[in-house]
Amino acid sequence: MTDKLPNMKPYEEEVKEFSWDLSKEELNYKDGDTINIGEYCTDRICKLGKADKTALIWEGHSAEVKRYTFDDMRVLTNTIAKFLQDLKINAGDRVCLFMDKVPELYFGVLGILKMGGIAQPLFSAFGGESLLTRLDDAQTSAIFTQKKHVAKVRKILNDLPSLKHIIIVDDDGSKPLREREIAFNMEKAEKVENFDVYPSKAETPSILHYTSGTTGKPKGAQHVHYSLISQYITTKYVLDLKDDDIYWCTADPGWVTGTSYGIIGPWANGVTQCVSDSGFTAENWYKFIEKHKITVWYSAPTAIRALMKDGTETVKKHDLSSLRHLCSVGEPLNAEAVIWSEEAFGLPFHDTYWQTETGSMVINNYPGMKIKPGSMGKPFPGMTATIVDLKTYEPLDKQGTVGMIALKPGWPAMMRTYWNNKKAYDSKFVNGWYLSGDRSSIDEDGYYWFVGRDDDVINTAGHLVGPFEIESALLEHNAIAESAVVGKPDPVNMEVVKAFIALNPGYEPSKMLELEIMNFVRKKLSALAMPQEIEFVDSLPKTRSGKIMRRVLRAKEWGEEIGDISTLENDL
């Protein structure tokens, strides 16, 4: 039976005593040692006597279940690492994973790290344009994918001379392979019992995660193997994982949560985790929890709000008594969701706040600490956080004042750069602070309360979508002369994409054209980037210099004050 006491001491006590050295000691790591995340999550756990312990319980669409021990995972990640070496993939090369949530995705990340490569996980829902942008920017050498997704890769292959290998993990030999394609079956490949893991150091690059911004192409946040120090201890303290827990992180590894806390954190702690690749319905999720007796559940507010819509009656049909700790990530968790989860599960969801760039949790609600529904919680011990003025970027002393969340650099999991974009990286640091781009206030008890993004990035279902990328795709449609994209409030997804479109001569607004444009974006980028609503306009609000004023359109959607429009070229 799991010990009921939290892993973390009472918050105020932990803040006084905490040091990152505690994490290093538990991981038996000393400054200057080699540190390879792939090895720490597999070989090290086996050496601790847990070789036969279940590492992964995976369930697919047809309710097929696969189980892997830590020793299975050690050998399979060795096998993947050796396969890549034999393909002449070198340390430092970028290797993309473009797959559904299949075991090969999870083991592939660790296998890439074991041979010294940089893992580049991308959502399998991405369209060709989104995929091309990210593979081209990273100059990716190889990509793991599936038969169902390989067509997207084939379409952009001529624009990717650096992509040497397309590795299809479920190829059955029924059709001939094409240019640069190679079949790899993880289960049937010759097992590699021993592999000389790449001797990476603290600052050796590990994972490259792409995040969308307001302007320009998506930026690749580059993380290093030393991130393990943060990810291990935050998993232990915030998610409160213990040796006998069965853990479920619902995030896809295409999102940083899916790697930091869906691969690295739990397995570095030697914990069994479950993965479901069967799609979302309330019934499916509750069955999954009941069947596998999940104890700790890490999900997203979008999913929680969707479960709320389904009500508590569905909950009551299932035995969910195994659950003991619930956490949420990706966007602000509204107070109603916290209150509802206590009613539905007898447990509150603990909101956690962090970003692709931070690599690990930075402001959280902790086990044993009072939850204020709607609050992000307090900074993780070892982190120095504050709210800075939106113009001077100096810390604000006044409680309740809205400013930007800022963090003192130096925590282990902080990104080390944006790939090939040092200028953008440097702009994130001002006056000795990392600027998050998120607005918040702090109350009299030190709890943080999220207010909103400080830019135009759209947070839809916990995924950041850059308006520039969508607008660029829209302009490729023959009918569109101009476009502007903003987030629109949505009760389930927090925000959805709304596009304002001015048409070229000869085109008239219609429902048919609206659907055609939506589908056009979905195919080029992804379902997340697809506008959920289109408003056809004669013209867009612009400054006299020709810059589209998205904030005017956004304010209209959110019912906010429009503010100074003295630079507007034309009226709304």
Q: Is residue 39 part of a domain?
A: yes
CA atoms 499, 505, 509, 512: torsion sign: negative
**Environment class of 387 (CB within 10 Å of its CB; exposed 0-12, middle 13-18, buried 19+):** buried
Are 69 and 172 part of one and the same domain? yes
Q: Which residues, at least 6 apart from 363, have a Cβ–Cβ distance to it below 8 Å?
A: 352, 353, 354, 376, 377, 378, 379, 380, 383, 385, 405, 448
Q: What is the domain-level CATH number for residue 281? A: 3.40.50.12780
Specify the pairing of strand 246-249 against strand 296-299: parallel
Helix 467-474 × helix 128-138 angle, to 10°: 120
Q: How far apart are CA 369 and CA 118, in angstroms?
A: 37
Sign of the CA dihedral with 329 first, then 332, 334, and 339 last: positive
Residue range 492-507, pLDDT digits in tens: 888 899 999 989 889 9
The β-bridge relationship of strands 448-453 and 65-69 is unpaired
Does some domain include residue 538?
A: yes
Q: Which of 438, 468, 488 is the last residue of a domain?
A: 438
Same-domain check for residues 376 and 508: no
Residues paired with residue 165 on neighbouring β-strands, in sequence order: 142
Distance of CA 520 to the CA centre of its chain: 25
Question: Could you tell me if 430 and 518 lie in one domain?
Answer: no
Question: pLDDT of 5-38, one tens digit each?
Answer: 999 999 999 999 999 999 999 999 999 999 999 9
Q: What is the CATH number of the domain that holds 497?
A: 3.30.300.30
Domain annotation covers residue 188: yes
Q: Is residue 144 part of a domain?
A: yes
Here the tokens at position 427 are 């702009």
What is the number of structural domains in the chain?
2
For 158, residues 6+ apart whose C-beta sits below 8 A from its C-beta are none
Contact present, 115 and 84 (Cβ < 8 Å) = yes
- 493 occurs within a structural domain: yes
Cβ atoms < 10 Å from Cβ of 434: 22
Q: How many residues does the chain have?
A: 572
DSSP 431: T
What pLDDT was estimated at residue 560? 73
Name residues whose C-beta falls within 8 Å of residue 502's C-beta, 6 or more positions apart in sequence: 480, 481, 482, 483, 536, 537, 538, 539, 540
Is-contact 74 63, C-beta < 8 A?
no
Instruction: Please check whether residues 464 and 408 belong to one and the same domain.
Output: no
- CB environment 227-245: b (16+ within 10 A), e (fewer): bbbbbbbbbbbbbbbbeeb
CA 80/CA 412 separation, integer angstroms? 27
Are residue 424 and residue 484 in the same domain, yes or no?
no
Please indicate, yes or no, whether residues 52 and 89 belong to a single structural domain of this protein.
Answer: yes
Do 253 and 347 lie in one domain? The reply is yes
- For residue 453, being part of any structural domain is answered with no
Q: Is the pTM of this model over 0.75?
A: yes
Domain boundary residue among 438, 471, 493? 438
CA 560 – CA 432 distance, rounded (Å)? 32
Say what the pLDDT of residue 570 is: 46
Cα–Cα distance for residue pair 450/428, rounded to 1 Å: 19
Q: What is the distance between the alpha carbons of residues 185 and 468, in angstroms, rounded to a whole number?
A: 39
- Residue at a domain's end among 404, 438, 472: 438
Secondary structure class of 7 (helix, strand, coil) = coil
User: How do residues 449-484 score in pLDDT, each as one tens digit?
Assistant: 987 777 677 888 877 787 777 887 898 899 988 888
Query: Which domain covers residue 528, as residue numbers?
Result: 458-558
Task: Name residue 41's amino acid.
Answer: C
How far does CA 308 lie from the centroid of its chain?
23
Using CA of residue 329, residue 335, residue 340, residue 345, what is the dihedral sign? positive
Residues 6 or more apart from 513 whose CB is under 8 A from it?
A: 479, 507
Q: Are residues 196 and 134 in the same domain?
A: yes
Looking at residue 94, its pLDDT comes to 98
**Domain-located, residue 443:** no
Looking at the fold, whether 420 and 475 belong to one and the same domain comes out as no
Q: Are residues 507 and 413 in the same domain?
A: no
- What parts of the chain have a pLDDT lower than 70? 1-3, 213-216, 455, 543-547, 561-572
Q: What pLDDT score does 174 carry?
A: 87
Check whether residue 529 and residue 391 sit in a common domain: no
How far is 37 from 425, CA to CA, in rounded Å? 24
432 shares a domain with 496: no
